[in-house]
Amino acid sequence: MSYRYWDSHGGVGRGTFAAVGGVLRTDDEEYRGKDGRAQRFRTVITRVGDTRYDVATDTLVDGHWRSVRTVSYTRGAPRPPKTEASRSTAVAQLR
């Protein structure tokens, strides 16, 4: 799967994801900032059960891959539906 990512600072990332051995990975993302500077990234997304997945991202620095971040995302409990009373309270807080 090919993707493009535009960030709020004017940069653009491009790459492809592939399913490999039960994970999603990209090994070829290039991000080009608004200033024209390019960076290379690779990311591995691993599903950990029904409610969590982990994302590990590396960047290429001087010919070596370095960890940028590792994040775990966990699905929380569903929120109760909003009622008219909760909407009114939220609107009152905005005033």
* Residue 41, token pair as written in the block: 């990234």
Q: Note the pTM of the prediction, 2 decimals.
A: 0.71
pLDDT value of position 90: 66
In degrees and rounded to multiples of 5, residue 34 shows phi and psi of -55, -30
What is the sign of the dihedral through the CA atoms of 44, 29, 75 and 72? positive
pLDDT value of position 95: 67
pLDDT value of position 24: 93
Give 89 or 39, the one with higher predicted confidence: 39
Long-range contacts of 7-11 (CB under 8 A, 24+ apart): 9/33, 9/34, 10/34
pLDDT digits (tens, 9 = 90+) for 49-94: 999 999 999 999 999 999 999 999 999 888 777 777 666 776 677 7
CA distance 53 to 47: 4
pLDDT value of position 86: 66
